[in-house]
Homo-oligomer: A and B are copies of this chain.
Amino acid sequence: MGRVGLSTERLVRAGAELADEVGFDQVTVSALARRFDVKVASLYSHVRNSDDLRTRIALLALAELADRGDVALAGRAGKDALTALADVYRDYAREHPGRYAAAQLRLDPEAAAASAGGRHARMTRAILRGYDLAEPDQTHAVRLLGSVFHGYVSLELGGGFSHSAPDTEETWTRILDALDVLLRNWPPER
């Protein structure tokens, strides 16, 4: 009967933890209510609906990722920076698979604008300052890096590379080596 002390903040945080434990698509208003030992309807004062909850978890994940990226990039350049940011994504996905899945949620334009999406784009661009790429090649490269990071991480997480030699650790470092080489020798438009 006493008050548990709910708030949008706490719900989103707990929702993120729940996502990491049982998967983002298992994050439900009901499950969250159970976790707080509170009736379902009580959550609807703090969160508009199920969709709103998920969107907020996505925004949290994007912000956390961007924060980690900032830290990782500080004082680094070139391949050092490339590896650091790549590892941020990969490590985050492995530590927080549910949050990482949330970060992939397709956001409506309003939420997207309020998200840390811009910070992510800027971080990737910052890496490319260590390489000699003029526009529009820089944008092409930003998109390639985004594709590789996201693609590799989500395939690895989904078990796409499982139980096959060589181990994924080795592949990851070799892919980063290869990207570094590629960025230093970006082919001119033919």
Q: Which residues of A contact B (CB under 8 A)?
A: 25, 104, 106, 136-137, 139-140, 143-144, 146-152, 154-155, 158-161, 164-166, 168, 170-171, 174-175, 177-178, 181-182, 185-187, 189-190
In the complex, given contacts A140-B175, A140-B178, A144-B178, what are 13 additional A-B residue pairs having Cβ atoms less than 8 angstroms apart?
Answer: A104-B154, A106-B158, A136-B166, A136-B170, A143-B155, A144-B148, A146-B151, A146-B155, A147-B151, A178-B182, A178-B186, A178-B187, A182-B182
Distance of A10 from chain B, by nearest CB (Å): 27
Q: Identify the closest chain B residue to A177 (Cβ).
A: B187
Q: Which residues of B are found within 8 Å of A106, using beta-carbon distances?
A: 158-159
Q: A161-B143, A182-B182 are in contact. Are A174 and B104 (CB under 8 A)?
A: no
Give the residue name and chain of the B residue nearest to A25 (CB). Answer: B25
Selected contact of A140 from candidates B151, B158, B166, CB within 8 Å? B166
